[in-house]
Chain A
Amino acid sequence: MSVISHAVGTPLDRLDGPDKVKGAAVYAAEHPVDRPAYLYPLQATIAVGRVIALDTAAAGAEPDVLAVLTHRNAPRLASAHDAELAVLQSDEVAYRGQIIGGVIAETPETARHAAHLVRVTYAERAHDVALRPDRDDLYKPLNAAFFCRGGGELMDGSPADSAVGDVDAALAAAEVRLDATYTTPINHHNPMEPHTAVALWSDDELTVYCSTQGVTLSRDLLATVFGLDPRRVRVVCPHVGGAFGSKVYCHSYAVLAAMAAQIVHRPVKFALTRRQMFSLVGYRPATVQRIRLGADPGGRLTAIAHDVVVQTAKAKGYAEQVAVCTRCMYAAPHRRTTHRLAPLDLPVPTIMRAPGQAQGMFALESAMDEMAIACGLDPVEFRIRNEPGVDPETGRPFSSRHLVDCLRDGARRFGWDRRGPVSRARREGAWLVGTGVSASTHPSPRFAGNTTTIRAGPDGRHTVLIAAADLGTGTWTALTQIAADALGVTVDEVELRIGDTALPPASPAGGSAGIDSWGTSVVETAGRLRALIDSHHGGVVPPQGLEVTSDMPDNPDAAHYAMHSFGAQFAEVRVHADTGEVRVPRLLGVFDAGRVINPKTARSQLLGGMTMGLSMALHEQGVVDPRFGHVVNGDLAEYHIASHADVGSVEAYWVEAEDPHTNPMGSKGIGEVGIVGTAAAIANAVHHATGIRVRDLPITLDKLLRQPVVEE
């Protein structure tokens, strides 16, 4: 069925706005609980080895300390299958910063002080944290789908390798060739709200107020670990203070908080410090990517190869889908992608906004710029010339693909035609000025596991229940709009409830699938409710009200179409000729994201993605010290994220184009596509400004100064 639009498509103000501007929206740490105790963790100070002795006497003797938890006295978990969640189940240390215990006390100050009194002795083993493509222990991922819970070879379920035709022969025969290696560092999500769990038990039932992108998934993981019926676990999270992937999978801290609450028989609050987040909540893994392109003299690609080495953790073989973007982007008869994992003694990586796509498209879109130059073509024209008619590796049609429109419309809005082809040609005072372009893409799937209940009252009011999440994505507002249209009522007549496992289950907010999945579930249920009112109640809600619950239907089109969002991003940069300082006065993106549910919140999502892309391009790098095996710049003063003064003008537009196949709303994902390609657009603009090609993120000034500067 399709939805008649009244609310969908209107730029409704955020419904949670009034609470948030006052600071009244309740985040995980802020749920009032009775007499909470506070936990401060003990973290390993070696990279690999065993804990052989623990002296907790001084800590335990501090007044107001309630318990010191270590692997010696921790409750045995029902399942230690998942290495990431098997907290305190052995004396083994797999990475520096791993949780090896915790102190629980009456106040946060006491817990923290006492934690520093615990003396730990280790038997240390040699560690290895160096990501090199020539390591002899690289391996092809296996069963890594969905956080290594089985299925496909990569996190997103797709195969590690793909091949069409004969790439090597095509490359050898190509008249224009490119062979370049691009590298991206560790990135950390750093949502402003630190990860927090407040856990309490009553009669063998566990409640956790937890900062999570998916209460249902967190509940299921906790239930498995503690051996509980999922109905005896409740996870609550109405508001998330940013997440970006770091709050999808439940991490060790939530398990530790629940264990602690079990031991002290009281609610326990565990809010991570910013520094602890650098080792305990995952991160975007570093990559080394070799791209080879071959083209004919007319600028048509004949071969594309994208070979990836991406790091993972020895503790758990998380496998990111870095080259998967290359499988759908450009036409070429001969093509290959591969992924190999480098197992390091580092914490377990996780998904971070556009996992794989963000790094993969930096490499591919930088290479496309280099190749356009090699072919003597404008980079926009070069991309258009290689636009595929169907998904190049599967042969399936795209459910919708308006990348060329995005490139053309973006070029027009940006003033791309004013750009000269020669690099290092424009100088304003001390600043070298350049512009660059990149394409963007992200899959637009729908996730299973969604159920909605809708209660209609005789007064025309409807309550819509689904355990969805709002991470700042605008779910409270957009899902209400979808429900209003599907029910044929106004937004004011809909009361949405999300973020609680007491509600019907929902898939997590991730993979750009949130609104598309939950919205489909809401539309389906609303349709059934309206049909029931018509068929059995003469078109009128009975006085006692009516309730309908329904699962989300499968999408029969999913097997027949390739479903992706697309976009084109344009950047203007200024590079200081003497200092190498890079500024980005202007970013402009045009996106193909299907039907836009709420233009106001959607634009914010895209702007936010582009801003994070700018940050990725210029600032962000988790620096690992090979001697100790930890990220040394573990705070917001040393791990730079873009601030107000780093961000100039950012504009986001979209082509008006409903997708006929993705879902009943006609929408596609918008949460991640905004960050994809931004770094390449900026790197390409830096090249245009300076003549220097930076293939290694972030683009810091040392990389621009190290190059010999030839005044032209």
Chain B
Amino acid sequence: MEITLRVDGQERRLVVDTRTSLLDALRERLGITSPKKGCDHGQCGACTVLLGGRRALSCLALAVAYEDAEIVTAAGLAEGGDLHPMQRSFIDHDALQCGYCTPGQIVSAVGMLAEAEAGWPSAVSADPDADEVVLDDAEIAERMSGNLCRCGAYVNIRPAIAEVARR
């Protein structure tokens, strides 16, 4: 079928199979390879994109269902070529090695900060009803645990996120 996807502010027409995941539509049909495929099963977070501002695993989404959605990848976070503060912070903290999990980590972190801002509790929040979430290391670790990093950059990723959260 022919559908339209809005990715990083651009409309793209493409033909997909009804079985095509949003991730494969982006990577294989549109050549948008910023979101990575690590598992295709929703188990690693490498394919994380923002769907209408919320983080989502594009390998678990069927492309045909996202005709009208606003899709943002890590490439789209860098507006006009300027890196997003989260991207800058990842470089400063050397929060990446091979870089394959990195776009997913960054998109996930941006989505996560918005969730915390909105007061969403996590499994380690002491008071689930608190209005404000204090993003300490344990909160960030819990909220980012859907994004695996086999290079083991975790102890650099969390300070990178914390620094942006403090701003």
A27/B150 in contact, CB under 8 A: no
Q: Shortest distance in angstroms between A306's beta carbon and chain B's nearest beta carbon?
A: 28
A608/B97 in contact, CB under 8 A: yes
A14/B94 in contact, CB under 8 A: yes
A647/B141 in contact, CB under 8 A: yes
B145 contacts A by Cβ under 8 Å: yes
Known contacts A22-B74, A643-B145; A193/B94 CB under 8 A: no
Q: Shortest distance in angstroms between B14's beta carbon and chain A's nearest beta carbon?
A: 12
Q: Please name all residues of chain B whose beta carbon is closer than 8 Å to the beta carbon of A32 when the two chains form the complex.
A: 31
User: A107 vs B36: C-alpha distance in the bound complex, in angstroms?
Assistant: 18
Q: Which residue of A lies closest to B24 (CB)?
A: A108
Chain A positions 13 through 24: 1 when the CB is less than 8 Å from some CB of chain B, otherwise 0: 110111111111
User: A605 vs B31: C-alpha distance in the bound complex, in angstroms?
Assistant: 31
Q: How many residues of B contact A (CB 8 A)?
A: 57
Q: Which residue of A lies closest to B142 (CB)?
A: A645
A274 contacts B by Cβ under 8 Å: yes
B41/A242 in contact, CB under 8 A: no
B121 contacts A by Cβ under 8 Å: no
B145/A472 in contact, CB under 8 A: no
A24/B20 in contact, CB under 8 A: no
A655 contacts B by Cβ under 8 Å: no
Given contacts A17-B96, A22-B75, A612-B152, 13 further A-B contacts (CB under 8 A): A20-B99, A21-B78, A22-B87, A23-B103, A24-B34, A107-B17, A107-B20, A241-B36, A472-B151, A608-B152, A642-B154, A644-B158, A650-B155
User: A649 vs B27: C-alpha distance in the bound complex, in angstroms?
Assistant: 36
B37 contacts A by Cβ under 8 Å: yes
A18/B101 in contact, CB under 8 A: no
Q: Shortest distance in angstroms between B130's beta carbon and chain A's nearest beta carbon?
A: 20
Chain A interface category by residue count: 35 or more
A143 contacts B by Cβ under 8 Å: no
A30/B75 in contact, CB under 8 A: no
Chain A positions 561 through 605: 1 when the CB is less than 8 Å from some CB of chain B, otherwise 0: 000000000000000000000000000000000000000110111
Known contacts A23-B33, A192-B44, A644-B147; A241/B158 CB under 8 A: no
Q: Please name all residues of chain B whose beta carbon is closer than 8 Å to the beta carbon of A399 when the two chains form the complex.
A: none
Q: Please name all residues of chain B whose beta carbon is closer than 8 Å to the beta carbon of A608 when the two chains form the complex.
A: 97, 151-153
Closest 8 CB pairs of A and B: A23-B34, A611-B152, A472-B98, A241-B100, A20-B99, A472-B97, A23-B103, A608-B152
A610/B152 in contact, CB under 8 A: yes
Q: Please name all residues of chain B whose beta carbon is closer than 8 Å to the beta carbon of A636 when the two chains form the complex.
A: 38-39, 41, 43-44, 148
Q: Shortest distance in angstroms between B163's beta carbon and chain A's nearest beta carbon?
A: 14
User: A132 vs B87: C-alpha distance in the bound complex, in angstroms?
Assistant: 50
Known contacts A22-B103, A109-B20, A607-B152; A192/B38 CB under 8 A: yes
B102 contacts A by Cβ under 8 Å: yes
A17/B36 in contact, CB under 8 A: no
B125 contacts A by Cβ under 8 Å: no
Known contacts A21-B102, A635-B41; A605/B148 CB under 8 A: no
